[in-house]
Amino acid sequence: MSDTAGALPANLAPAEARTPEARVAGAMKGFVQEVGALSAFRLESCIHCGICADACHFYIATEDPQYTPIWKVEPFKQAYKREASPFAPLFKLFGLKRAVTADQLEHWQRLLFDSCNMCGRCSLICPMGIDVAALIEQARHAMFDAGLAPKELYQKAAHQRDTGQPEPSAEPYRDQLLDIGKRFGVDIPLDKPEVEVMLCVPRTDIEHYPSAVAALARVMQHLAVSCTFRSDGLVAENYGYFAGGKEWQREISLRLIEQAIACKAQTLLVPECGHAYTALRWAAAELYGKPLPFKVRHVTEFLADELKSGRLKLEHAGTGKTTFHDPCQLVRKGGVTVAPRALMKAMVIELNELKNHGGFSFCCGGGGGVLDIERAAPLRYRTMENKLREIDDTGAQTFLTSCSDCRRTFDDAQAHFQWDKAPHSLLELVAKHLAGAGTRP
């Protein structure tokens, strides 16, 4: 039978025109391959208590049971029970678990991509210790293998894999980076052959927040850190990770890994980008196949270390009552809660914490690629209302974060809701309040 179909449903990956049967077969094969002993244990351990629902802002905002985190992997649980569990022959024989259908999978595309930020809050709360977010990530891999990644994520991932940047731009990012340096009067170190720290940049900053790019360069210059951006490994984001394309994620990460090795960097510095931190700090070594020969640090961790060593000194910022949004990938995946607070403390910032902050912070709503999926916008806005309310309830005049994608999500919400607050970059604030001259041994 031919493996190609005629008309392609609207939000499916364009290169994957397959029959419905081929899609189902691909997704099931992908998922069963993905399920190792740990995932099987997780799938078997669920006691259906429903507690994870109360952790997920999609469920909290809608009270719709389909947004219960563990339900989002239901077709894959079905596949596991039928195909790979110890009782698979019995499940099949007695029809205890029905075969997954193509319609079911297309519906599930929305649950796995549009209504999951991969924020990990559900994993934190499950009494059985099930890492639901990790199961969702595996289910995304299977969906990608079946050509069921949303087209926006698929296209950006494909472009980034092929060219190094997720979208075409009138001017290559490398040239835009140099222009930003000229515009903001800061030296942009580029393609140096041997450095202590390799820098990369969120494409979100190049396109939306050039002042954040300048801030990164300015802070490094102030601290006299031997560092460089690399033309062939510039972009921090990894759309392969969002789309569920594991091999593409690997290829995208490899660009940065190879460049960091080429310039003999001891540290690969992740800028203000939450998911880049997850992709590089936690996933890259596994995909690379061996330990990375350098450290991966988020810029707030790096600056907090500089602060501790006395090399970084900061002035009072005078931001008035201030609140801070913890990006999920930094706090729940990396435990980076102390570093941003140390920087704020050094600037004598009066921090009014959100009701849910640190490890329990709610996602901005745009994480996991959700911000890029056009049709997901109405649900995303609904989900964000709770977060915006929490921010308003602090009574803060200044609102900070340390992830550009979170910042863009809040900026978008500001326009949508005519909200009276604008998110600011913690890194930019640091760059504005550098004190004394930086020295290095």
The residues facing 270 across adjacent strands are: 298
297 binding ligand SF4? (CB under 6 A): no
Told to check if 73 binds ligand SF4 by CB under 6 A, we report no
387, 365 Cβ separation under 8 angstroms: yes
**Interface with ligand SF4 includes 102 (CB under 6 A)?**
no
Residue 339: alpha-carbon gap to chain centroid = 19
If binding is defined by CB under 6 A, does position 128 make contact with ligand SF4?
yes
Using the rule CB under 6 A, is 134 a contact of ligand SF4?
no
**132 is an interface residue for ligand SF4 by CB under 6 A:** yes
Distance, CA of 99 to CA of 82 (rounded, Å):
8
Q: Name the region of 77 (left: φ>0; alpha: ψ -120 to 50; beta: rest).
A: alpha
Stretch binding ligand SF4 (CB under 6 A), from 131-139, 204-212, 339-347, 349-357: 131-139
- Answer yes or no whether residue 362 interacts with ligand SF4 by CB under 6 A: no
Q: Is 117 in the site for ligand SF4 (CB under 6 A)?
A: yes
Q: Which is nearer to ligand SF4, 118 or 349 (CB)?
A: 118
Are 237 and 277 spatial neighbours (Cβ–Cβ below 8 Å)? no
Binding range to ligand SF4, per CB under 6 A, among 40-48, 200-208, 296-304, 345-353: 40-48
Indicate whether 75 belongs to the interface with ligand SF4 (CB under 6 A): no
Number of residues that bind ligand SF4 (CB under 6 A): 26
Name the DSSP letter for residue 228: E
Check residue 322 and report its DSSP letter. Answer: E
Q: How far is the CB of 131 from ligand SF4 (least distance, A)?
A: 9
Non-local CB neighbours of 105 within 8 Å, separated by 6+ positions: 23, 24, 27, 75, 143, 146, 148
Site string for ligand SF4, 314-353 (x = CB under 6 A): ----------------------------------------
Q: Which of 30, 120, 166, 189 binds ligand SF4 (CB under 6 A)?
A: 120
User: Judged by CB under 6 A, which stretch of 68-76, 143-151, 232-240, 374-382 contacts ligand SF4?
Assistant: 68-76
Would you say how long the chain is, in residues?
441
Query: Distances from the Cα of 296 to the Cαs of 39, 162, 230, 277, in angstroms?
Result: 27, 24, 16, 8
Q: Which stretch binds ligand SF4 (CB under 6 A): 64-72, 89-97, 209-217, 233-241?
A: 64-72
| 8 Å CB contact between 315 and 435 | yes
**Closest CB to ligand SF4 among residues 136, 177:** 136
With CA atoms as reference, report the closest residue to 111 among 156, 65, 146, 45: 65
Asked whether position 56 contacts ligand SF4 by CB under 6 A, the answer is yes
24, 43, 102, 130: residue in contact with ligand SF4 (rule CB under 6 A): 130
- Please give the structure tokens belonging to residue 241: 């990770």
Decide: is 58 part of the binding site for ligand SF4 (CB under 6 A). yes
* Closest distance of CB 120 from ligand SF4, Å: 5
CB 105 within 8 A of CB 99: no
* Number of CB atoms found within 10 A of residue 195's CB: 20
What would the two tokens of residue 194 be? 């041997």
Point out which residues bind ligand SF4 (CB under 6 A): 46-52, 55-56, 58, 69-70, 72, 116-122, 126, 128, 130, 132-133, 136
